[in-house]
Amino acid sequence: MQRQKGFSLIELLIVVAIILIIAGIAIPNMMRARIAANEASAVNSLRTLTSAEATYNSTYPNVGYACNLAALGPGKTPPDSTAAGIIDSVLANGAKAGYTFAPGACAKAGNVTTSFQYGAAPASPTQSGTRYFCTDNSGILRFSLVSVADCYANNNIIQ
């Protein structure tokens, strides 16, 4: 009797089933890890924006706060109040690590901007992030599960 070489169909099906079970367990964990990483990046980007606004305000006291990403970003040599070069071009374009960043309301006293707000929303809710983040000139970072507008209104503070 001659011995057959290779695997039987049953053996191959068992191996494929085991691989699918392992993938079914691993993929959701990878998605949660990616969401956590995106949210951490968004929080750090808002901290960067808060620091950049403080730098901008002290560099251009006759303007006050920038209140927009383009004024904080690169673009001119030498830098000026319309493109200060304080943040990188990725953040200045308003999208980074699965989140979009946008300014909120700004207050003015004459020609000087006296306050700023920035919000971060997931580019694809439930896939790139589940929380919305915001900050203002107080430097306090807040979050919401509903929207950026709700973020400004609630008191869920990130330590």
Dihedral of alpha carbons 98, 129, 69, 49, sign = negative
Q: Distance (Å, rounded) from C-alpha 44 to C-alpha 21? A: 36
Q: What's the first-to-final CA gap in the chain, in angstroms?
A: 74
Judge contact between 88 and 101, C-beta under 8 A.
no
pLDDT(1) > 80: no
Q: Distance (Å, rounded) from C-alpha 58 to C-alpha 40? A: 27
* Total number of domains constituting the chain: 1
Residue 34 lies in a domain: yes
Residue 84 lies in a domain: yes
Q: Distance (Å, rounded) from C-alpha 39 to C-alpha 44? A: 9
> What pLDDT, on a 0 to 100 scale, did the predictor assign at position 159?
67
- pTM (two decimals): 0.83
**Full residue range of the structural domain in which residue 154 is found:** 9-158
Judge contact between 38 and 97, C-beta under 8 A.
yes
Instruction: Note the pLDDT tens digit of each residue in 133-155.
Output: 999 999 999 999 999 888 888 77
Residue 1 lies in a domain: no
Judge contact between 12 and 104, C-beta under 8 A.
no
Judge contact between 120 and 101, C-beta under 8 A.
yes
Judge contact between 121 and 26, C-beta under 8 A.
no
> What pLDDT, on a 0 to 100 scale, did the predictor assign at position 90?
95
In percent, the amount of the chain with pLDDT more than 90 equals 70
Q: Distance (Å, rounded) from C-alpha 105 to C-alpha 48? A: 18
Instruction: Note the pLDDT tens digit of each residue in 59-73.
Output: 999 999 998 999 999
Residue 106 lies in a domain: yes
Residue 2 lies in a domain: no
Residue 3 lies in a domain: no
